[in-house]
Structure 1
Amino acid sequence: MVNLKGLSAFPITPSDRDGRIDVGALRALLEPLIAAKVDSVGLLGSTGSYPYLGRDERRRAVQAAVRLAEGRTPILAGIGALRTDETVRLAQDARDAGATAGLLAPVSYTPLTDDEVFEHFQTVARESRLPICIYDNPGTTHFRFTPALIGRLSRVDGIVAVKSPAPESAAIAGHLAELRAVVPSGFSLGYAADWNCTEALLAGGETWYSVLAGIFPTICVDIVRAATSGNATEARRLNECLQPIWDQFKTFSSLRVVYAIANLRGICGAEPPRPILPLPADGQKKVAETLAGMQIDFG
């Protein structure tokens, strides 16, 4: 059984302007994540710019990640696409390349109904035989999963987890309770939106799907280990240390900030896929000053 718990680190996918993945740069990003012993790698998530990459390049990325992980770290691969048949093929590619599970968002142009999303997910799970994590990301898909729909999907064979946007701390317990009331035992409830995820873990969320862990895994591992061991004081202290980065994420978007960090720290030279532009010079300067002013050893 797939066990999606703990820290899932979401790196960028470095590529050239033609969408060709730089496998060497991808390895440079993934090696520290595996060395830090993150619980899984969320490859080709929104931070990994999956909608901007073609099928062949997505396959190359998953193959490279699986080879590097060598079975030590589960690889969760983004498989979202507009059409169901295309999504099935991407899921089959990920399965054949050795991915542990697929991360599926309801990508759309025409707004989707709950029944359309249910049929889409059920078909992908059935025809790909790849375990599926529901990717609830209304900021990009403009579709929001209700607890009722998550409950329906959680009973589909092969759908094993959900990645939800973490609400503010006051709403976390209620959100978790709503989901637990409708999903079966063993179905993993995890959260994204990094700045709210420490509180989500402390409230009982099982997984932190983290953008920051894709570039600075060690401190994120420390937060998860503190939270899961019941040391709320330490988890909150470490999270508070990261507040300047959370502020930058909210100001510029986490995607642009992480690309800037990767370049500023010499991890890889990459730009986000066009039409997304890198941070302008003043934004990069602010990110550099933020990192320089933080009393944290990022490794």
Structure 2
Amino acid sequence: MSGVGSDLDTARRRLRDGMARGVLSFPLTSFLDDGSLDPDGCRAQLAAQLATSPGAVFPACGTGEFFSLAEDEYRTVVTLAVEEAGGRLPVVAGIGYGWAQALRFARIAEDAGADALLVLPHYLVAAPQEGLVRQLERIAAGTRLPLVAYQRGQVAYTADSLRRLARIPNVIGLKDGHSDLDRLQRLTLAAPDGFLFFNGAATAEIQARAYATVGVPAYSSAVHAYAPEIATAFFTALRDGDDATAGELLRAFYVPLVELRDRVPGYAVSLVKAAARLRGRPVGPVRAPLTDPSAADLADLKALLTTGLDLVGAAL
């Protein structure tokens, strides 16, 4: 085991430092054509992403199709991430569903050596704020690992709830997928010093500049899973105040990518896998209920990817 998870201050510091250093990497989970898990493909995908020095790696989360993984597959995916990371950067594994099932995954991640956990939105039901807080309390009580809460879909915390979450010893941060900057500003002001926030919107680069204005410059990047050259160039441009480069990448690549993504539900993951395949990555197809892109959409994706890579001096 890495040992980092037993030291909350160390885990928080490593994540904070990683978030300042680079994008947060959410690797794909590789499947074979028959739908079975492909461990060799997973390892290759992880190695390719880690070679570009992201700030942290988040296996088995939304982009990694957590929702489709059996527990033994989840164990393999997280274990591979820990092995490939080798202690060089934090490994934050996804967990989710109701609190009881989330804890089953949490214990697997603990055994595999993960450093922290990202708590994905719970399954199906809407819930009041009291229930949302109790959900995190139950999960936190059952694991020694640090937790990052993820608000998206039916999960959205108020400032009062955020204060309660921050008092739970091993809840160290929040990933936001709502892009409600008014709400997010209230949350950042309610949080204690050292509490971590990052932008987890779909295609987070689109809103990265806006998030930074409310004190949340860190973000996850799905583009990093298939074009780390583009993702790194955009991150560097933002960090260095290079508005011209950031603006050109937004206009020519990211905005058209979002327009393509919005054509079909589930394309936020399906297009990422398709783009990785276009670049020769052994990631395989998506699992149901997701579907792979149509031939026409795939052709548009290839043209767009070529444009983006040309902008940063890389080849398809």
Q: Same fold (TM over 0.5)?
A: yes
Distance in 2 between residues matched to 1:19 and 1:137, nearest whole Å: 28
Tell me the residue number matched to 1:161. Answer: 173
Decide whether aligned partners of structure 1 residues 202 and 28 sit closer, same or farther in structure 2, where only a CA change above 3 A counts. Answer: farther
After the TM superposition, which residues 11-26 of structure 1 pair with which residues of structure 2 at under 5 Å, given as runs? 11-16=27-32, 20-26=36-42
1:203 Cα deviation from its structure 2 partner: 4.7
Q: Does 1:94 align with 2:109?
A: yes
Decide whether the 8 Å contact of 1:212 with 1:220 is kept in 2.
yes
Aligned residue for 1:149? Answer: 161
Q: For 2:75, which of 52, 59, 74 is the aligned residue?
A: 59
Determine the structure 2 residue equivalent to 1:127: 142
Over 3 Å counting, the alpha-carbon distance change for 1:263 and 1:65 in structure 2 is: same
Letter matched to residue 184 of structure 1: P
Q: Equivalent residue for 1:216?
A: 227
Q: Structure 1 stretches of 5 or more lacking a match?
A: none
Q: Give the TM-score normalised by structure 1.
A: 0.88
Counterpart check, 1:70 vs 2:86:
yes
Q: Which amino acid aligns with 1:165?
A: G
Q: Is the 8 A contact 2:223 2:230 kept in 1?
A: no
1:119 Cα deviation after fit: 1.4
List runs of 5+ in structure 2 lacking aligned partners: 1-8
Q: 2:300 is matched with which residue?
A: 286
1:196-251 CA-partner distances (Å, limit 9, x unpaired): 12432355314201211222223323333333344445444443343332332233
**Aligned partner of 1:221: which letter?**
T
Over the residues paired in the alignment, what is the CA RMSD in angstroms?
Answer: 2.2
Q: TM-score, normalised by structure 2?
A: 0.84
Greater shift, 229-238 or 55-64, is seen at 229-238
Partners in 1 of 2:124 and 2:220 — Cα distance?
25
Whether contact under 8 Å (2:107, 2:143) holds in the other structure is yes
- Report the Cα offset of residue 64 of structure 1: 0.4
Aligned residue for 1:32? 48
Counterpart of 1:191 (choices 185, 194, 199) is 199
Q: State whether residues 12 and 259 of structure 1, in contact with CA within 8 Å, keep that contact through their aligned partners in structure 2.
A: yes
Q: Call closer, same or farther: CA 1:147–1:221 in 2, change over 3 Å.
A: farther
Task: Give 1:75's aligned amino acid.
Answer: V
Secondary structure in structure 2 of the residue aligned to 1:242? helix
Shift of 1:110: 3.1
CA contact (8 A) 1:133 1:159 kept: yes
Name the CA distance, whole Å, in 2 between partners of 1:36 and 1:293: 21
Are the equivalent residues in 2 in contact too, given 1:216–1:298 (CA < 8 A)? no
Matched, 1:85 2:96: no
**CA distance change for structure 1 residues 163 and 230 in 2, over 3 Å: closer, same or farther?**
same
- Note if 1:113 corresponds to 2:125: no
Separation of aligned partners in 1, 2:141 and 2:58: 22
**Aligned-residue identity in percent:** 25
